[in-house]
A and B are shown apart, each in its own frame.
Chain A
């Protein structure tokens, strides 16, 4: 049980780095989908004993984060007919290095955190790393769609941290959070559609009309 969780968490971190590294939007989205799947497994694995609560949460997560949203985003890029993230503001190598740095930082911080007892040792560092990497993706990519992906990763990271609190955050709340993330990304997607229609490109750096 425990080792499986460790493995999954490791895979999550790897998926982060993969997303940082890839140039193709489609693989980017695939990475997020994979991550969603892994996240769906985790509630069951980290929970002390298998409970309806954990299973339901896991299934909800898989549904939202591994199936619906990726499909939605994939559709978006099909509409926009863009394949790859061309020249991000920070190069791929550089951003991978950044990712590695974030990873190291995450472990450093996690080591100093007064962690609650009987928890996955990897859980907190993985979540922090995911949060930071999500933030990196958000800030260093040009395409609006990649920024949505970045936001999704950020959320995933936070979700991971939430898993340390499965018993203190009630089920309803978990679902509420999940719903909000879903709607949030959905609305962002809609806006992305409109951006694509207005500017016939997904390049968010072209939205610079409003300044002081």
Chain B
């Protein structure tokens, strides 16, 4: 029952928000948002305490992979809502009901994706996340955001369509195989009896489809536009939670393929996508002048690392599970801080925002810290995960992968450092006056930063265990 509630509750709240005339205009029902978010988080926490049985005939279940994504989403959502409180003091969206309604719808859809064990249901949830976020990208209602929305919609929809085709291929692979159709545990259980040719085709199409939503190069093209034009807190949710859901889709099918013993077929593809994404990210991060687009490409980079770890197998799978968490939190952190910069200076470009240590000390500090966190410097969590993935590359006997990875990480660091430090340090433009940073706007990112820092030196027991089990499910192992 709880799983169903987790998926349905936000939507139930969303319905009145969207229809009741009380919420017409710019007023945002923050209280409802907060209530729904906290309830959701509470329910998710209860799942950790008391693992639930599968529901809807096994269509909904909470396995380690799903729990990781679900928790990540829920936490990020709560943080985003707290941030919203401060955000709404400076800016009001055109339509408060669309804002709140879509956020809640997104939470529902993401929960469905995280808990779905029926791949068609997973697909439905995935498409729903795309659609629920689109209006949020278009929140500013100007030409640029319109263009971004259009590209985001078309590319993601095409990608997701390909994923649907892949799902059907998977169904064909299951022809005449015992077990409920397209239900994950049964697929895994009888993986070796699946038709290998269809399974391969299914894997590739699902990879491209969900890869498009993750933003793997070369299907990443919508990402900088969408992240750059959406309000920062929405970008944060997309980069932190939405990509997590998309990665979950890839991970699910990988789970099946690994179980079917087709690892030697799947892993090179994953590694290839990983390296290409790293390279593309590096190319676009050099000389980038807009922090939000920079973070978008950094997200491309980290998606690449995720599939790279998955493809390397061994401890790499563990690494990319850990990286999923770390990257999600770090991206949320960075986008929310960037949001503060945009609120204060009206822009996220190096041209307009300079010398923030003077005008926005707290945000600037968080931004610079974030630079080191995102680039995988010790002692932040991303260091742990990236180091694990690097080790996986060497253990798996691909030293050249390690070399390329390190080279790209180095180039990316130069690009990011140049921009972030460029806007954090220096003499602020004369016009800019110091802004008082409301605690609502700083608390969220600070909390995320603290968590990322903690994960670098201490991984709580339950999380550790869940990560390990997820890694094993993906054909890997815990270090």
Q: Which residues of A contact B (CB under 8 A)?
A: 113-114, 116, 131, 135, 138, 144, 147, 151, 154-155, 158, 161-162, 164-165, 167-170, 173, 176-177, 180, 183-184, 187-188, 191, 194-195, 198-199, 204, 207-210, 212
Contact = CB atoms under 8 A, between A and B. Distances in A.
A191 B182 contact: no
Given A155-B161, A212-B293, A147 B154 contact: yes
A167 B172 CA distance: 11
Given A173-B120, A177-B164, A210 B148 contact: yes
Contacts of A207: 146-147, 150-151
Contact of A204 (B135, B150, B157): B150
A184 B118 contact: no
Nearest to A206: B147
A191 B153 contact: yes
Contacts of B158: 135, 138, 151, 154
Given A168-B181, A210-B144, A210-B147, A180 B165 contact: no
Interface stretch (B124-132, B255-263, B328-336, B397-405): B124-132
Interface in B72-115: none
B63 to A, nearest CB: 20
A131 to B, nearest CB: 7
Given A165-B168, A187-B134, A191-B149, A114 B124 contact: no
Interface string B161-181: 100110010011011000001
Centre residue among A208, A209, A210 by max chain B CB count within 10 A: A210
Given A207-B146, A212-B293, A180 B153 contact: no
Contact of A188 (B157, B164, B229): B157
A175 to B, nearest CB: 10
7 contacts: A151-B154, A169-B168, A173-B118, A176-B120, A177-B123, A207-B150, A209-B147
Given A116-B175, A154-B161, A164-B172, A195 B146 contact: yes
B293 to A, nearest CB: 7
B146 A198 contact: yes
B124 A169 contact: no
A195 B150 contact: yes
A208 B124 CA distance: 31
B210 interface: no
A135 B120 CA distance: 22
A167 B157 CA distance: 25
Contacts of A191: 134, 138, 146, 149-150, 153
